[in-house]
Amino acid sequence: MFSKSSKSPRPVSPMSATGAKHTPFSLIGGDVAITGNLSASVDLHVDGVVEGDISCAALVQGPDSRITGHVTAQSARLAGLVDGSITADELVVESTARITGDVRYERITIEPGSRIAGHFTHKDSEAPAAGLKLIASDGAN
């Protein structure tokens, strides 16, 4: 009538329960604030606040997010506030982006309306592009 077999559930690792092990990107939601450096081998989508350096394959930043620290990515699409330097092979600065810091890039696209205060350096160059300092705005300048 009574059995000694355990009916307690086996522990399930969070990765197998959510399938996160094979997720092609990680998401930091708008209600999340992280203090510390982030390193990801996959793509990263940031809608929240990160106070620390970010290193990832590809970064997508939401328009209401804030990053305070150095960003290193193969590709980055920035739409929020970045207070720190950026290094990316391919960089897209959307119209809602507000960047304060030096930018090192291989290919860059800057949409009208974005604001950038810093020096630009092409990855093939060793010095900033002729001391280029750009402050992009909505076209009023």
pLDDT digits (tens, 9 = 90+) for 89-128: 999 999 999 999 999 999 999 999 999 999 999 988 755 5
Q: What is the pLDDT of residues 5-32, one digit of tens each?
A: 545 444 443 443 444 555 677 999 999 9
SS (H, E, C) the chain: CCCCCCCCCCCCCHHHHHCHHHCCEEEECCCCEEECCEECCCEEEECCEEECCEEEEEEEECCCCEEECCEEEEEEEECCEEECCEEEEEEEECCCCEEECCEEEEEEEECCCCEEEEEEEECCCCCCHHHCEECCCCCCC
pLDDT above 70 as % of the chain: 72
pLDDT for position 81: 98
For the chain, the structural domain boundaries read: 23-134
